Amino acid sequence: MKARPTKTTRPGSGSAAAQVLARKNNVVVALALRAFRDAQIRTVAFGYLFAVFSYIQPVGYRHTYPTRGDRLAFARSFAENTGLRLMYGQPNDIVTVGGYTAWRVGGVLAIVAAAFGLFAAVRALRAEEDSGRTEIVLAAMVGRRAAAIAALAAIAAGALLLWLAEFAGFLVGGLPTPGAAYLALATASVAPVFVGVGALASQLAPTRRGALGVGGAVLGLLFTLRVVADTVPGAGWLRWSTPLGWAELLHPFAGPQPLVLVLPAGATVLLLVVSTSLAAQRDIGTGMWPAHDSADPHPRLLRTPAGHALRNQRGTLISWIIAVGVLMFVLGGVSQAISPADIPANTRTEIAKLGAGSITTPIGYFAFVFLFVSVAVSAFACAQIGAARQEEADQQLETLLAEPISRTRWLSGRMLLAAAGVAALSLTAGLLGWAGARVAGAPIALFKMLEAGANAIPIALLFLGLTALAYALAPRASGVIGYALLAVALLWHVAGSLIGPPRWILDLTPFAHVGLVPAHPVHIAGSAVVTGIALLAGVAALAAFRRRDLAAG
């Protein structure tokens, strides 16, 4: 009887497939870590906003409305204001700290979470293709699906950090742990849906700008549906048609409905499955929609670095102008509707300490509003320096400086463009705020409103100069430094005004030197000093930028 031959294997061959799989997994993990590091500045900025905003709301509510009588009066009057419903959504059980916090935080941070998800997805998918990095990654032993998984894993980690930041803010603010976790989840549940929206837009549009335009239009439509649902009688059913409405329907601290979480989860999975399917059907660097690149070339704005920057940033500038203008028109429309019965006396006293005067008058109301207009315009200035940094990180600046263009000319052009955008935004805020007030019948002069808008320019120029200096000295950290300086200055001014420290301590923040117009006249001397410091910072930034090496992403 013949012996049955035994099957032999080459030494090590049995583990070859496992080794290949392990190497692929290591590559995916490395790509995810790199994507997370690339987005760390954006994640930190959003996380800071989530944590601070979540902490302020419950603490401020307890301080402003200490008794149940104060809270009932607030619920009967202030919460029924149509303008506030437009911004914050449908209030539920706002006589409690948790219900009030869910109303104020949910209405605002849900929109911020949507923006985070959209920007993160477009940056990780479409922007990577536009820069050519996706082609390099796919040239290795990484498939499209693995690269997409790595990008989405990095975004998921960022969204988790936002949830943790918001949860921590609620806990420090004194909310109970289960309710705080659920409210943070309700707000953060919007982000994955808009990650899916951004991923789908990245497959449809052939450029990053186009993908952001598509995603922004979807966000605007869904926000409009939420506004109609919250402000038009009988239209509440529209909340079921928008992720921003689903966040409200979860009802944190007011009869929670966790089953509603099925909607954002299902929508996210569906959008990601569709986007993955479309990605497999197109070539790298293209979109499902054809690129409109067959038109005659238009060399306008390409003769100077500043003109080239304006051509690249005009969509961003137009979006900022529209957003600020619409918001100021809405806020102007409610300027005449606020009465002493709407706001408790202690709240009016606290706001008056900021220098705005009586918030129940249109003049005092707009002075308070323009404090935050100056913050928004300053954030725009920081974002413009961030865009300049992105050009350097993507190595576009290296190509541009190969031409007979000096570093000083390039950076000064970017700063001048940002300053012009600051002026346009500030004056638009004044003009549209006046238009809204006129529609509401508020007696306020156009000149006063334009003066209030112009009063925001020195503050924004200061943060433009400081952020530019940070960019020249520490380019990779410049975004965090600029936004952190702005946040610290604002919190210093607000907290200092309420606490009442010695004057020299309050004077350390630039917001104390420009005055709140139109409640007060322009502080010409203070504005001149702030503008002078801004110019010195800008000059120092130009000198430092000339001497350092370019820093890639």
Residue 293: pLDDT over 70: no
What is the number of H-type helices and E-type strands within the chain? Answer: 23, 0
Residue 436: pLDDT over 50: yes
Range with the lowest mean pLDDT among 133-142, 203-212, 217-226? 133-142
Residue 349: pLDDT over 70: no
> pTM above 0.75?
no
Residues 6+ apart with CB under 8 A from 192: 117, 156, 159, 264, 265, 268
Residue 390: pLDDT over 50: yes
pLDDT of residue 508: 78
Q: Count of residues for the chain?
A: 553
For residue 319, what pLDDT band results from cuts at 50, 70 and 90?
confident
Range with the lowest mean pLDDT among 35-39, 78-82, 188-192, 252-256? 78-82
Range with the lowest mean pLDDT among 255-264, 338-347, 462-471? 338-347
Range with the lowest mean pLDDT among 96-110, 131-145, 240-254? 131-145
Residue 197: pLDDT over 90: yes
Residue 6: pLDDT over 60: no
Q: What are the angstrom distances between the C-alpha of 521 and each of 2, 246, 454, 518? A: 109, 45, 12, 7
Residue 58: asked if its preceding bond is cis (omega within 30°), the reply is: no
Angle at 414 between CA 410 and CA 418, to 5 degrees: 170
Q: What is the rounded CA–CA span in Å between residue 160 and residue 152?
A: 12
Q: Confirm if 284 and 129 have CB atoms less than 8 A apart.
A: yes
pLDDT of residue 335: 73
* Average pLDDT, rounded, for the chain: 81
Q: Is 203 exposed, middle or buried (0-12, 13-18, 19+ CB in 10 A)?
A: buried
pLDDT of residue 531: 93
Q: Is 16 exposed, middle or buried (0-12, 13-18, 19+ CB in 10 A)?
A: exposed
Torsion of CA 431, 432, 438, 441, to 10 degrees: -130
pLDDT of residue 81: 62
Report phi then psi at 453, rounded to 5: -65, -45
- Looking at mean pLDDT, say which of 17-31, 163-177, 223-237, 389-403 comes out highest: 163-177
- DSSP codes joined into one string, 232-264: STT-GGGGGGSHHHHHHHT-TTSS--GGGGHHH
Name the maximum alpha-carbon separation found in the chain.
112
For residue 347, what pLDDT band results from cuts at 50, 70 and 90?
low
> Rounded mean pLDDT of 175-193?
93
Segment 366-378, tens digit of pLDDT = 888 888 889 889 9
Q: Which residue has the tokens 């207009």?
A: 373
> Rounded mean pLDDT of 214-236?
83
For residue 276, give the nearest of 190, 149, 139, 115 by alpha carbon.
149
Q: What is the rounded CA–CA span in Å between residue 409 and residue 147?
A: 39
Q: Is 373 exposed, middle or buried (0-12, 13-18, 19+ CB in 10 A)?
A: buried
Share of the chain above pLDDT 90, in %: 24
> Rounded mean pLDDT of 263-285?
88
pLDDT of residue 195: 93
For residue 197, give the nearest of 117, 141, 263, 129 by alpha carbon.
117
pLDDT higher at 116 or 230: 116
Three-state secondary structure call for residue 126: helix
Residue 541: pLDDT over 70: yes
Segment 494-532, tens digit of pLDDT = 776 666 667 677 777 888 877 788 877 888 888 899 999
